């Protein structure tokens, strides 16, 4: 007789900001969705400094299951990214799931997403709002453009970066620190500590907003580009920033050197005056840029080394089963007389 495979301990993190009307229904739906879940689970509701009655409604909702539901309240509105990080820091699960608190994400998707994450051996399973119930011009169209741009630049092939329904392997997510507006790029940051092949997606249900108002507008589309630049830089050059700045500096240096060499031939070989030529200033300016980018690269390398050494952060991440292989290798490599010497000392 086959034994049922135990499901992992699950932490569900839901940030709320001025969602008083959605707080209690959201908690009720999560409890209903997790009724048949065979493993342990917890729900962490984070009130992101709401000015309405959101926290009071969450306190009412907590009475539905005081053992599993935990509440966090931020002193002010720090933003969705900070609220998610607060919930992740408080979580204890082997698997961490996130949902938006506006009831547009369907909690009923979570059990099968956890099962699929484990079955496919992924570190992140992102939701894909295939039938999205939002306005075309202000929400869906900007998101489509942003998603396409992010995929092109980062190479992480996720269809819907903006979907709040995601399931993570806890040990991987906890290696990433979220700040600023990083919640839009969580798959990209996860790709900095795991292989993109271990990031997947699946279609999820998406519902129209029933209560409250959206906290997102067209302005968020303009914040994608600087956030994308930061994500690209840390994904590719986090441990070697000197290569990023140095490559730019060398390119400017080659251009400047070619210009100045040509002007030297014109001056010395043909006796022409080059003092008032615009090309001379372009060449000199290119050399100045070269020096600036190269020195910036050196300083960036120094800062990276200070960061990795002072924070005891490693530029690599071992696979979860590497510890067992390493322990076996140490035992095999132990000298034959090690046990005898250990016995004599005893």
Q: Looking at 236, 266, 292, which one is the last position of a domain?
A: 236
Q: Would you place residue 123 in the very low, low, confident or very high pLDDT band (cuts 50, 70, 90)?
A: very high
Confidence (pLDDT) at 342? 43
The reply to whether 60 and 160 lie within a common domain is yes
Mean pLDDT, rounded, for 268-293: 90
Residue 269: φ, ψ to 5°: -85, -35
The reply to whether 181 and 273 lie within a common domain is no
Confidence (pLDDT) at 314? 56
Mean pLDDT, rounded, for 175-196: 82
Quick one: 216 exposed, middle or buried, by C-beta within 10 A (0-12, 13-18, 19+)? Answer: middle
Q: With 70 as the cut, is the pLDDT of residue 3 above it? A: no
Closest CA to 155 of 122, 181, 192: 192
The reply to whether 162 and 299 lie within a common domain is no
The reply to whether 299 and 180 lie within a common domain is no
Q: Would you place residue 332 in the very low, low, confident or very high pLDDT band (cuts 50, 70, 90)?
A: very low
The reply to whether 281 and 219 lie within a common domain is no
Confidence (pLDDT) at 338? 42
Closest CA to 66 of 55, 54, 58: 58
Mean pLDDT, rounded, for 48-61: 93
- Please name the residue that has the structure tokens 């390398």: 301
Residue 74 lies in a domain: yes
Q: Which letter does DSSP use for residue 335 in this model?
A: -
Q: Poorest-confidence range of 37-41, 57-61, 147-151, 166-170?
A: 147-151
Q: Which letter does DSSP use for residue 105 in this model?
A: B
Q: Looking at 236, 268, 301, which one is the last position of a domain?
A: 236
Residue 333 lies in a domain: no
The distance from CA 225 to its chain's CA centroid, rounded to whole angstroms, is 16
The reply to whether 218 and 182 lie within a common domain is yes
Residue 335 lies in a domain: no
Report how many domains make up the chain.
2
Residue 189 lies in a domain: yes
Query: Tens of pLDDT along 317-329?
Result: 566 655 554 444 4
Confidence (pLDDT) at 236? 77
- CATH of residue 189's domain is 3.90.550.10
The reply to whether 167 and 18 lie within a common domain is yes
CA-to-CA distance for 291 and 252, rounded, in angstroms? 9
The reply to whether 67 and 212 lie within a common domain is yes
Question: If you average pLDDT over each of 25-29, 209-213, 225-229, 339-343, which comes out highest?
Answer: 25-29
CA angle 175, 181, 186 (to 5 degrees): 40
Residue 341 lies in a domain: no
Confidence (pLDDT) at 276? 83
Q: Are the C-beta atoms of 254 and 261 separated by less than 8 Å? A: no
CA-to-CA distance for 85 and 89, rounded, in angstroms? 6
Residue 14 lies in a domain: yes
Q: With 80 as the cut, is the pLDDT of residue 1 above it? A: no
Q: Looking at 236, 268, 294, which one is the last position of a domain?
A: 236
The reply to whether 112 and 89 lie within a common domain is yes
Q: With 50 as the cut, is the pLDDT of residue 275 above it? A: yes
H or E stretch covering 243: helix 241-270
The reply to whether 33 and 148 lie within a common domain is yes
H or E stretch covering 200: strand 199-203
Confidence (pLDDT) at 329? 44
Q: Which residue has the higher pLDDT, 226 or 220?
A: 226
Q: Which residue has the higher pLDDT, 334 or 173?
A: 173
Residue 117 lies in a domain: yes
The reply to whether 225 and 250 lie within a common domain is no
Q: With 70 as the cut, is the pLDDT of residue 218 above it? A: no
Mean pLDDT, rounded, for 18-28: 92
Q: Would you place residue 114 in the very low, low, confident or very high pLDDT band (cuts 50, 70, 90)?
A: very high
Query: Tens of pLDDT along 248-270?
Result: 999 999 999 999 999 999 888 88
The reply to whether 71 and 187 lie within a common domain is yes
Mean pLDDT, rounded, for 139-150: 76
Residue 330 lies in a domain: no
Q: With 70 as the cut, is the pLDDT of residue 88 above it? A: yes
Domain membership of residue 252 as a residue range? 241-310
Percent of the chain with pLDDT over 90: 46
């Amino acid at each position: 007789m086959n034994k049922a495979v135990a499901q992992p301990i699950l932490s569900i993190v839901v940030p709320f900001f001025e969602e008083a009307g959605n707080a209690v229904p959201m908690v009720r739906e999560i409890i209903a969705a997790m009724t048949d879940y065979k493993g342990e689970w917890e729900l962490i509701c984070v009130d992101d400094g709401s000015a309405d009655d959101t926290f009071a409604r969450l306190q009412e909702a907590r009475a539905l299951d005081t053992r599993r539901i935990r509440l966090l309240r931020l002193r002010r509105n720090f933003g969705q990214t900070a609220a998610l990080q607060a919930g992740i820091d408080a979580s204890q699960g082997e698997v961490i799931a996130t949902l938006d608190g506006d009831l547009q994400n369907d909690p009923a998707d979570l059990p099968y997403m956890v099962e699929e994450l484990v079955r496919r051996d992924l570190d992140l399973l992102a939701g894909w709002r295939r039938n999205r119930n939002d306005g075309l011009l202000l929400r869906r169209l900007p998101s489509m453009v942003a998603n396409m741009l992010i995929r092109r630049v980062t190479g992480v092939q996720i269809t819907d970066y903006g979907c709040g329904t995601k399931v993570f392997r806890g040990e991987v997510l906890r290696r990433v620190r979220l700040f600023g507006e990083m919640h839009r790029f969580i798959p990209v940051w996860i790709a900095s500590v795991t292989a993109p092949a271990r990031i997947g997606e699946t279609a999820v249900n998406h519902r129209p907003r029933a209560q409250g108002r959206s906290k997102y507008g067209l302005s968020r589309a303009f914040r994608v580009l600087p956030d994308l630049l930061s994500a690209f830089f840390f994904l590719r050059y986090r441990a070697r920033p000197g290569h990023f700045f140095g490559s730019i500096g060398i390119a400017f240096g080659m251009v400047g050197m070619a210009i100045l060499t040509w002007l030297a031939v014109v001056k010395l070989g043909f006796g022409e005056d080059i003092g008032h030529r615009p090309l001379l200033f372009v060449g000199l300016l290119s050399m100045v840029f070269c020096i600036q980018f190269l020195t910036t690269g050196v300083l960036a390398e120094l800062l990276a080394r200070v960061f990795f050494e002072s924070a005891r952060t490693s530029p690599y991440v071992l696979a979860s089963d590497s510890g067992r292989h390493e322990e076996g290798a140490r035992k095999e490599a132990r000298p034959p007389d090690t046990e005898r010497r250990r016995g004599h000392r005893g």
